[in-house]
Structure 1
Amino acid sequence: MKPVFADPLTQRLADFVIGIGIDVTAGELPDDTFLPGVDIRSGGLVIDEKHLAHPGDILHEAGHIAVSEPQSRKAERFEATDGEELATLAWSWAALTHLELDPAVVFHPGGYKGEAEWLLETFASGGAMGVPLLQYYGLTLEPRQAAERGVAPFPNMLRWLR
């Protein structure tokens, strides 16, 4: 059964995540999750709307699932590699671009260990941090390869799940 959330943005993000093939459930979470109100559990997201500090965190956490190796997605406790963290940042940029959201929804002030503004500037100016990994995973293409194949480059995604 599809979860229903009171906040329209939370609902829109949850619907997008479900639409690309990642399970989303509504539920209560403890206070010690890495990001308030959202957690990765067995390859899906659990969203605790009353504790969700920033709805954009839904996209970031979904990005972790999306860029991880398929066999590691269902692990009881999720651990991202440094490379997957970079790929998740680029994936999040692609998702918010696809959804036509203000980038600050995901890269919100105070997030990303104080580096949100720098990340916003990097991606907005065409920075490609994490894009080579997304390309390696078969999710997107950098401009030269995209032109050779006749498709739009990053932030356009060829597919959303690795």
Structure 2
Amino acid sequence: MNAAHEAAQVEPTGSESLTRRIVAFLTDIGFAVRAGTFAETTPLPGIMVEHGALVFDPARLRFPCDLLHEAGHLAVVPPERRATLHHNVGADPAEEMMAIAWSYAAAVHLGIDPALLFHDEYKGGGPAILRAFTDGGGFGVPMLQWVGMTLEAGRARAEEGAPYPHMRRWLRETGDPPV
């Protein structure tokens, strides 16, 4: 485990305190986030996307770190698409991998134990996903680099920048870069 990952190993906090920390971070980087209630069943219990904003129902929110995953979906899409996302944030496999990598970087940045993000119910394989990231082989990172949000280790060395899980920017600023 590298130093950034070791630094992320902190004591879990109460879910309300953890939710407040996550909401403050998401708001600070530019997301609209609010508590609310809704009757709909959602893929992540207690979290809904409404026209690019995150709404969470405190009574139904099972895993506060799921807010990071859902925010990851919003963060990695081109800005012109962000506000159009409503309820279904999409099923694009590349964006899903980017959202997972983004959420891990956010957890590390916030000093949240990534095991709280990749819990046992996470995508049916939270512990395996956690191992992939803590062993340094997390997926989605090359795509985050491609859109200018982070740097893989080799490129970070070449550019004298900080490598993933450090993020150069938290929100994608452009559409697809030229190939």
TM-score by length of 1: 0.92
For these two proteins, the number of residue pairs brought into alignment is 156
Aligned to 1:82: 93
Aligned to 2:77: 68
- Which amino acid letter does the alignment assign opposite residue 119 of structure 1? I
Question: Does 1 or 2 have the higher relative contact order (CA < 8 Å, sep 6+)?
Answer: 2
- Which amino acid letter does the alignment assign opposite residue 33 of structure 1? T
Q: Which runs of 5+ in 1 are unaligned?
A: 1-5
> What aligned pairs does 1:48-59 form with structure 2 within 5 A after superposition?
48-59=57-68
Residue 150 of structure 1: CA displacement?
1.2
Query: Sequence identity of aligned pairs in percent?
Result: 44
Query: 2: CA distance between counterparts of 1:88 and 1:41?
Result: 17
Q: Detail structure 1 runs of 4+ shifted over 2 Å in the superposition.
A: none
Query: 2: CA distance between counterparts of 1:27 and 1:158?
Result: 31
Moved more, 33-42 or 53-62: 33-42
Aligned to 1:110: 121
Aligned to 1:133: 143
Residue 65 of structure 1: CA displacement?
0.3
Aligned to 1:160: 170
Q: Deviations over 1:17-71 (max 9, x none)?
A: 0111111011102241111111111111001111001001000000000001111
Aligned-residue CA RMSD (Å): 1.3
Aligned to 1:3: none
Query: 1: CA distance between counterparts of 2:38 and 2:25?
Result: 21
Query: 1: CA distance between counterparts of 2:170 and 2:91?
Result: 17
Residue 128 of structure 1: CA displacement?
3.1
TM-score by length of 2: 0.84
2:117 is aligned with 1:96: no
Q: Which runs of 5+ in 2 are unaligned?
A: 1-14, 173-179
Contact 1:68 1:80 in 2 (8 A): no
